[in-house]
Structure 1
């Protein structure tokens, strides 16, 4: 997906300013808490089994 544009094509591009979203206003805010934890265990011996676990938690509170 590495498309190259010529200078002429770039000159034809247009930019539009998007309208302000209410969610981005100065009176809305949110607390975001994120936690990532991971554990791995692999015993250094023949026929050992590697085990791993990972947990991701994201909590968003909007006021």
Structure 2
């Protein structure tokens, strides 16, 4: 579930930049995002959706 971060929590997060694109030529990164919702023409209905994300990194 989504939770807002305060500035102290945000400062504790860690991230780092990726190397230059030329350096990454031997790495294969595949990212996919998918989501599906269905509403069968019902009057005043709500469709819910769940989203899935996957990232696969392969080093040759």
- Report the TM-score when normalising by structure 2: 0.44
**If each structure's strand is expressed as a fraction of its own residues, which one has the higher value?**
1
**If each structure's helix is expressed as a fraction of its own residues, which one has the higher value?**
2
- Report the TM-score when normalising by structure 1: 0.43
Q: Is the radius of gyration larger for structure 1 or structure 2?
A: 1
